[in-house]
Structure formats: C-alpha cells, structure tokens
C-alpha cells in the first residue's frame, strides 16, 4: 500500500514500512500516514521500519514551519501539533508485535526518536546517529529523551542530546543503541528480513507479553506480577510441548 509519504508491503507474516519522503525527512504527511499504515498491518506478526535513502534526516523544516509557526508562543496550540507526531511514534511503540528498525545512512532528530521507539535496531556500517535539536535552539520532544537513557544509559543519552554531535555505527553498537552492524544496505535489509521471519515463527502471545513487560515501566515487584498474570492468561501446555519438539 502506498500513502503520501510511506509505503507498506507484506511478505508472508512480515510487514515492511518504508519511510519514503523524497528528502529522507519527516513532513506533516508522515505523521498522518504512519498511523494509517499501522492500521493496515492486518495479520502481520512483525514490522520492519526502514528508509528509502536515509532512514531519516529528521523533520522537513520547510514543510513543517507553516504548521508549527502559528502555534509558537501558545502551549495549547503547540501541544496539539506535536500530539500528532507523538501519536505516530507511540503507535509504533505500542504495537503488540515486534518492530525492527533497519537503519542505513543518517538517523537524525525525529528519526532517532522514532527508531528509539522500535524494539530492535540494526544498522549498516555507514549509519550515523544524531540528536541535534539543542543546536537548533529546541529540546527534543518526541520521546528520545525519555527512551534513550533506558537504551544507552543517561550519560550517553546526555552526550547525544547536549552536544548535538553525531556518532557512527560502531559507537552506536558499543553504546547498545543498535545490536548489529551490517556491512552495507543490502546486507542490512536482508538481515532485518531474516530476523523478522524468525520472530514471526515464534508464539505471538509470548512475544507480545515479553514486549509489554520490557516496556511496562512498573516497579520490579509489580512488573513480575504482571508477567506472571500474562502467562497465567495466555500460556498453554500444547504451545510449550510444540516449542520443545522444535528446539
């Protein structure tokens, strides 16, 4: 399926969302199209998110300025504009299926905040990551400052956010921002698809419960109790025996 700024394709139980803005940026259409595409996932059990050229070079400032400009100085109007962006990113984060970000080229600003909302991140050796909002006189407000400390630690998140300086793929792997670095784009996308196919072969309720528990943000004891309750509701002996036979 093709929308104004993204494309959604399916291969078996794996869906791929391609961020297809011609400049590699996120314009107003992106924030409308991503939720529409997520609503069309159907029976997909894993989602891969990728860019067409770069993963994302951040906001399309020229296209976004007419939307944001009239809201500046008015917190209520500004919040309404940003809420649409939040809905797209939070929609990815709260999907009941695993989401894999396959990152080639630049992953900047809003692009990094979107990637941080995915469950797994892979990148090519040429990938570069940056959260440059401070250089533009603004504070990142699409979830990056909330998610990145949990992914890479507060100190490294602060380094990215306070300096605005980029890091390369090797640093991203050392820091834990990505879990694998592939040689080039072709190898990256092939690996993302194979990983997605593997995840799609696993019991979906187990994946959903694991994702929920990783994200729940509850105190330790409450998170443990929630995981136990999930298993009590969804675990079956047949599924366990079937899994053991395949192992």
Q: Looking at 76, 133, 180, 222, which residue is catalytic?
A: 133
Quote the CA–CA distance of 167 and 130 in Å, as a whole number.
Answer: 7
Quote the CA–CA distance of 133 and 142 in Å, as a whole number.
Answer: 11
E strands in the chain: 6-11, 14-19, 46-51, 99-103, 106-108, 120-124, 128-130, 167-168, 180-182
* Both tokens assigned to 147: 């998610």
173 is catalytic: no
CA distances from 91 to 86, 99, 174, 193 (A): 8, 11, 28, 21
Nearest to 97 by CA among 159, 163, 38, 142: 38
Quote the CA–CA distance of 7 and 19 in Å, as a whole number.
Answer: 7
113 is catalytic: yes
- 224 with 232: CB under 8 angstroms? no
Q: Looking at 113, 165, 186, 222, which residue is catalytic?
A: 113
- 235 with 126: CB under 8 angstroms? no
Quote the CA–CA distance of 95 and 123 in Å, as a whole number.
Answer: 22
- 131 with 161: CB under 8 angstroms? yes
178 membership: H or E segment, kind and range: none
**Coil vs helix vs strand at 126:** coil
Positions marked active-site: 113, 133
């Amino acid at each position: 399926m093709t929308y104004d700024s993204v494309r959604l394709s399916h291969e078996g139980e794996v869906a791929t969302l391609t961020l297809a803005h011609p400049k590699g940026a996120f314009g107003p259409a992106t924030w409308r199209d991503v939720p529409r595409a997520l609503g069309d996932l159907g029976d997909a059990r894993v989602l891969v998110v990728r860019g067409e050229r770069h993963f994302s070079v951040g906001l399309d400032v020229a296209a976004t300025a007419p939307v944001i400009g009239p809201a500046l100085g008015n917190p209520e109007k500004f919040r309404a504009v940003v809420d649409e962006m939040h809905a797209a990113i939070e929609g990815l984060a709260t999907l009941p299926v695993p989401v894999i970000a396959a990152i080639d080229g630049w992953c900047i600003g809003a692009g990094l905040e979107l990637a941080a909302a995915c469950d797994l991140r892979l990148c090519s050796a040429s990938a570069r990551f940056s959260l440059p909002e401070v250089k533009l006189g603004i504070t990142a407000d699409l979830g990056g400052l909330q998610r990145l400390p949990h992914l890479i630690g507060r100190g490294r998140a602060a380094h990215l956010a306070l300096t605005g300086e980029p890091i390369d793929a090797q640093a991203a792997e050392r820091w834990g921002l990505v879990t694998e670095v592939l040689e080039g784009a072709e190898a990256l996308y092939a690996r993302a698809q194979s990983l997605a196919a593997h995840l799609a072969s696993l019991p979906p309720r187990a994946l959903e419960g694991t994702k929920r528990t990783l994200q729940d943000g509850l105190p330790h004891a409450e998170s443990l109790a929630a995981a136990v309750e999930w298993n009590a509701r969804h675990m079956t002996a047949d599924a366990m025996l079937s899994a053991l036979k395949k192992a």
